[in-house]
Structure 1
């Protein structure tokens, strides 16, 4: 009698059949993955070609067209005002960078030559209208293309004093100066030696005058210097002067900085492309009625405020009636402090606020404020600007 096939043979055959049917779907699942990889590769190639074409067209416009050149030099100017000045050579070339810097130095010197002839009322107090007659200061926000800032108006210019640090070897934050002296407002003022952009804020550039007295003289052999300040009658002075001229004019508060951008009611910067790039700005101005204005524009903060050119600042101040205006130390030094000692704007410095050698502060009674000369008996050559 023939033997029957073992049961296990059919079972194994069935099992093998099951395995065979289940293996087929696994093979078909690999095909969509290959198609996905192919699709992603095609997408990558399209994006790469599109990006390459865009970069090529942009580079052609940026480097070969007149309109591109305007923006290229504005970018270079913006880099020149930062700690990465050398990067500008990749935008306009090393030779053009040297020429650009030299051009601005000469331009700023020339802008300080014309003598200012503006006058203010004898009492030196600006008219702010019925509602603001008794308010010494007011702050308003200003906006423009890509920037946001604030305009501090001081009705009586004789209420402004130049304040300096109270400790040797280190600058002082404006918030500290305001709280320490009881001021009702304050802004950054003059420039200072800043080695590697990490200076201690204690060594001013040029000259510092407070209360009609020379606190610091770093002119060396120079006979004149660009200054921004106020005389004893409350009239703003800005431009190129010798120390002797300043004393004869009755200077009261002054720091060295430039350029002057408005004189005798007219703007000196012809257009935005010659406005020294986009950056945070601090500018001091005066109206015909005597009121002093401080314009502070934030910058280097995408999404909030990139910054403004000096031409932008000039136009804002002309719209507000300025007859004279001059640049102060802007950039990461730009700061506006209110009477509570709080920062109003958004400084671009990583620390939020820098240590500075000078600040213009507003007081109800400036004559009662004692401002010792922290540099008395010191020689500029003895000050280490980088030592903390």
Structure 2
């Protein structure tokens, strides 16, 4: 009998659940396979979170902005604010090009209608002094400046107690407007604000070509009506009564107009506000508005704007309400935006104009004088035809 080979005891011995021995290389491979996959950097996790959150927020905002009544009002408020700037065309990306054209036409029509009602207000006294109060520290002062604040805006209210102390001063250089600071310094005025509008191609105009009418000391300095029978004006007659609304030249002469420029809209007439709410207030922007109290005192309201963190600007409704609260029985809009400026008797700018280029060159300014009769205002446009004036050439 052939003997059987010896048994491999180690190989045949049961393990009873214990793992079999493995070669070192195999053990290292198994350990490697069991290692967890490396985590993604925290930056990518945060990026995904922010992206998804922003996307959801954008969808919700778009739904509110375009599909809800409150979003509609905000959208048109934003569009109106752009319409008053040099970036008017940007408004079409918010409300559409057709809606933009319709909006501009709608405001033009509305402003014309707001100038139709005839003003019946009267002023008390021959030379109003704004209600002298012996306990008032400003008693006896011709002008008083106060700060005003509202929702998102800051500005100044200049009160001129005697309206007959105001003159419309015009630029003194052919081919270019003049800064109000310069007008105040060269004429010796005790205060000055910007007045009428001007042709401003691409918002780079030279400030020399006014729009509509310019009247100073009862004389027509500039007639740019171009055949129109009437125009919206803001001014003062020879008795110190403020005039604002739509008038023909003959009507103004018959009313004894003294100082006037063309601008609109009139926002207060016969003691009542014409703008119903903020949504109809022609957007948020820097503003210059002129009003008059029943005692004859003239109010100039200057609101700064387009400066986040300081003052965004105000609607015409905001301006209207401020003037009503201060007793205005008539008020009208003057040239605002980057033209808005208030200058004191030292020739210093009181407010913060929004123009990045600094104070603008303008054709006209309402200035206050202790002795207005001594002020000489030469007519720089004498002998010139409006059609021949290049508004963009410096």
TM-score by length of 1: 0.91
1:112 equivalent in alignment to 2:118? no
Alignment partner, residue 24 of structure 2: none
Q: By percentage of residues, which structure has more helix?
A: 1
Alignment partner, residue 332 of structure 2: 326
2:133, 2:317 → 1: CA distance?
Answer: 28
1:350, 1:284 → 2: CA distance?
Answer: 25
Alignment partner, residue 188 of structure 1: 194
The alpha carbon displacement at 1:97 in A equals 0.5
- Give the SS at the match of 1:41: helix
Alignment partner, residue 92 of structure 2: 89
Deviation per residue, 1:308-355 (Å, 9 max, x gap): 000000000000000000000000000000011000000001122000
Alignment partner, residue 273 of structure 1: 279
Alignment of 1:215-234 (within 5 A): 215-234=221-240
Higher mean C-alpha displacement, 116-125 vs 167-176: 116-125
1:66 equivalent in alignment to 2:69? yes
- 2:212 paired residue among 206, 227, 252: 206
Deviation per residue, 1:226-271 (Å, 9 max, x gap): 0000000000000000000000000000000000000000000000
Alignment partner, residue 292 of structure 2: 286
The alpha carbon displacement at 1:184 in A equals 0.1
- 8 Å contact kept, 2:192–2:367: yes
Alignment of 1:254-265 (within 5 A): 254-265=260-271
- 8 Å contact kept, 1:174–1:186: yes
Alignment of 1:160-179 (within 5 A): 160-179=166-185
The alpha carbon displacement at 1:87 in A equals 0.4
- 8 Å contact kept, 1:200–1:385: yes
TM-score by length of 2: 0.89
Taking a change above 3 Å as real, the CA distance of residues 50 and 347 of structure 1, as seen in their structure-2 partners, is same
- Give the SS at the match of 1:204: coil
- 8 Å contact kept, 2:197–2:262: yes
Alignment partner, residue 336 of structure 1: 342
- Give the SS at the match of 1:314: helix
Task: Spell out structure 1 runs of 4+ moving beyond 3 A.
Answer: none
Deviation per residue, 1:98-147 (Å, 9 max, x gap): 11000000000000000000000131412152233310000000000000
1:138, 1:351 → 2: CA distance?
Answer: 29
Unaligned runs of 5+ in 1: 1-30
- 8 Å contact kept, 1:185–1:339: yes
1:63, 1:345 → 2: CA distance?
Answer: 36
1:128, 1:191 → 2: CA distance?
Answer: 34
Alignment of 1:13-162 (within 5 A): 35=39, 37-125=40-128, 126-130=130-134, 131=136, 132-162=138-168
- Give the SS at the match of 1:384: coil
Q: Which has the larger radius of gyration?
A: 2
Alignment partner, residue 11 of structure 2: none
1:313 equivalent in alignment to 2:319? yes
- 8 Å contact kept, 1:124–1:235: no
- 8 Å contact kept, 2:184–2:191: yes
- Give the SS at the match of 1:277: coil
Deviation per residue, 1:6-54 (Å, 9 max, x gap): xxxxxxxxxxxxxxxxxxxxxxxxx9xx64x522111110100000000
Alignment partner, residue 24 of structure 1: none
Taking a change above 3 Å as real, the CA distance of residues 128 and 145 of structure 1, as seen in their structure-2 partners, is farther
- 2:246 paired residue among 234, 240, 246: 240
1:97, 1:144 → 2: CA distance?
Answer: 28
The alpha carbon displacement at 1:371 in A equals 0.5
1:352 equivalent in alignment to 2:346? no
Over the aligned positions, Cα root-mean-square deviation in angstroms equals 1.4
Number of matched pairs: 357
Higher mean C-alpha displacement, 232-241 vs 37-46: 37-46
1:297 equivalent in alignment to 2:282? no
1:381 equivalent in alignment to 2:387? yes
- 8 Å contact kept, 2:267–2:331: yes
